[in-house]
Amino acid sequence: MRLLFLGCSWTAGNELKNRKKSRFSTIIGKRLNAEVINLAENGLSNHAIARIFLEQDLESFDKIFVQLTHPSRTEWYDPTGEFNKVRIREKIKERFSDRKKWYDSQLVNLAKNIGGEWDRILVDKKRFLITGKVFEGKEWWIWYYEQIYTDQYGMSEEMLIYNLIKNKLKRLKKDHLILTINPKCKMSIDLQLNNPKYPRAVGNHPNEIGHSMIAPDIMKLL
Amino acid sequence: MKIFSNGSSFAAGDYPKFLASRLNAEITNIAMVGYSNRSIWRTTIEERPINYDLAIIQLTSRSRHEYHDEKKWVEISIALNHNRLTEQRKKIWKYWYENMYDEVYGDCEENFAIEGISDYFANENIPCIIVTTDKFTKSKKFDLNIFDLNFPMDETQHPTEKGHKIIADKIYEIAISRM
């Protein structure tokens, strides 16, 4: 049996000491004696989750679990990949001045390998708004959240992505569950992970006990 | 017989009406001038069309987009000519097109719309024909690129009445082969 998990940091197991061992996808895989493919990543938006979802050979999985995230997140495609260098420079400047030499060497490596890349944008984390695309003295993505983005847009994006995933899996007749961490999600989701009953680590992600509680709650829905 | 249609300015013209006439069908056409692929996908899913015998969806240029200005949806294209666009927002979007928009993004949005629309209609057991007016799309998932047809256009670069009839005839052929 093959299981596919998609989502953001919550499904990736951020803040766990050994994420590959302790995250809920691994616990579920062990209980079902199944191979687990977990493609969740820190900071992914619903747009990115849907894009990665459509890139998979969905027929090759027996059960598919998709965790949706905060609707204000988004992504853009940078054909130069330059945003990586800009972010690292920012880190050096703000947080790691004592390790400047090491980060300078990383910059050199990046410059060698740079190429087009999807970039994740998170309004609540300043470093994820910095891309080097500056319009009238301010990062473009700050303009975006101040002047363009509205909750209506985020809700419509969530509705579209939810329907995209749900209709695809229904058409393929695949067993699936759709989870979310958006407490205001209006879609008919199977499980709300952003629930105070699941204990958290300092950065607000579920801790080891949280993951061990989420796994049986998901199993009950299968 | 009932047909559902959506799309941008081409579909807001007469070909859906001509097609309905050829099929002796009733038509519901929610196409609007200026719609982006996202607008077409969103309004189709919001409309939740059911009990139709055929859906004809016309997608458009990949570079178009939309946003919500807290009162209404505003369609965005490279021309940036929507009357709800303030000067400041026009400048912000101009920067997006000049410095940030990439075809990879447009391809992704187009693919979301194709997959989202075709799966919706498949689950409703409604045959769906998806065409495009993006001359340069790389997607092989369309039933027809309207610009592969030879049809007359007016000074606004839209099909004349004869042009709409040519488009309707071609979609009719595809529809008959599906039904």
The predicted-structure confidence for A135-170, as pLDDT tens digits, reads as follows: 999 999 999 999 999 999 999 999 999 999 999 999
> B18: distance to nearest CA of chain A, Å?
31
Inspect the interface and report whether the beta carbons of B67 and A153 lie closer than 8 Å. Answer: yes
| pLDDT tens readout for residues B85-96 | 999 999 999 999
Give chain B positions within 8 Å (CB) of A80.
none
At B91, phi and psi to the nearest 5? Answer: -65, -40
| Arithmetic mean of pLDDT, A4-33 | 97
Q: What is the dihedral of CA A56, A61, A64, A68, to 10 degrees?
A: -10
What confidence score (pLDDT) does residue A96 get? 62
Q: Which residue range(s) make up the domain with B163?
A: 2-178
| pLDDT tens readout for residues B7-54 | 999 999 999 999 999 999 999 999 999 999 999 999 999 999 999 999
Give chain B positions within 8 Å (CB) of A50.
112
Among A54-63, A119-128, B83-92, whose mean pLDDT is lowest? A119-128
Inspect the interface and report whether the beta carbons of B92 and A144 lie closer than 8 Å. Answer: yes
The residue of chain B with its CA nearest to that of A144 is B92
Best A129, A143, A145 member to test B by mutation, with max B CBs in 10 Å, is: A143
Distances (CA, A) of B148 to B25, B145, B170: 26, 5, 11
- A69 — pLDDT class (breaks 50, 70, 90): very high
| Arithmetic mean of pLDDT, A89-112 | 67
Best A148, A165, A174 member to test B by mutation, with max B CBs in 10 Å, is: A148
Evaluate if residue A113 carries a pLDDT over 70.
no
What confidence score (pLDDT) does residue B178 get? 83
Best A171, A172, A187 member to test B by mutation, with max B CBs in 10 Å, is: A171
Evaluate if residue B112 carries a pLDDT over 70.
yes
Say which amino acid occupies B102. D
What confidence score (pLDDT) does residue A193 get? 98
What confidence score (pLDDT) does residue B129 get? 98
Give chain B positions within 8 Å (CB) of A79.
102, 104
Indicate the domain borders of chain A: 2-72+152-220, 75-148
The kind and range of the H/E element at A11 are helix A9-12
Q: Quick one: which of B112, B100, B106, B121 has its CA closest to B5?
A: B121
| pLDDT tens readout for residues B136-150 | 999 999 999 999 999
Inspect the interface and report whether the beta carbons of A148 and B41 lie closer than 8 Å. Answer: no
Inspect the interface and report whether the beta carbons of B99 and A168 lie closer than 8 Å. Answer: no
- A107 — pLDDT class (breaks 50, 70, 90): low
Q: Tell whether B35 is within 8 A of chain A (Cβ).
A: no
What confidence score (pLDDT) does residue A97 get? 63
What confidence score (pLDDT) does residue A61 get? 98
Inspect the interface and report whether the beta carbons of A78 and B102 lie closer than 8 Å. Answer: yes
What confidence score (pLDDT) does residue A100 get? 67
Evaluate if residue A115 carries a pLDDT over 80.
no
Q: For position B66, which CATH number holds? A: 3.40.50.1110
Q: Tell whether B18 is within 8 A of chain A (Cβ).
A: no
Give chain A positions within 8 Å (CB) of B67.
148-150, 153
What confidence score (pLDDT) does residue A109 get? 66
Q: Report the number of distinct structural domains present in chain B.
A: 1
What confidence score (pLDDT) does residue A125 get? 84
Q: What percent of chain A has pLDDT over 70?
A: 91
| Arithmetic mean of pLDDT, A82-105 | 73
- What is the architecture of the domain spanning A2-72+152-220? 3-Layer(aba) Sandwich (3.40)
Do the beta carbons of residue B65 and residue B50 sit within 8 Å?
no
| pLDDT tens readout for residues A168-216 | 999 999 999 999 999 999 999 999 999 999 999 999 999 999 999 999 9
Q: Where are the alpha helices (DSSP H) in A23-146?
A: 24-31, 46-55, 83-94, 100-113, 140-143
Mean pLDDT taken over chain B: 97
> A163: distance to nearest CA of chain B, Å?
7
Inspect the interface and report whether the beta carbons of B116 and A136 lie closer than 8 Å. Answer: no
Do the beta carbons of residue B15 and residue B164 sit within 8 Å?
yes
Evaluate if residue A94 carries a pLDDT over 90.
no
What confidence score (pLDDT) does residue A112 get? 60
Inspect the interface and report whether the beta carbons of A156 and B42 lie closer than 8 Å. Answer: yes
**A211 CB contacts (<8 Å, ≥6 apart)?**
A13, A16, A22, A23, A24, A27
* Least CB–CB distance from B119: residue in A147, A152, A167: A167
Q: How far apart are CA B80 and CA B82, in angstroms?
A: 6
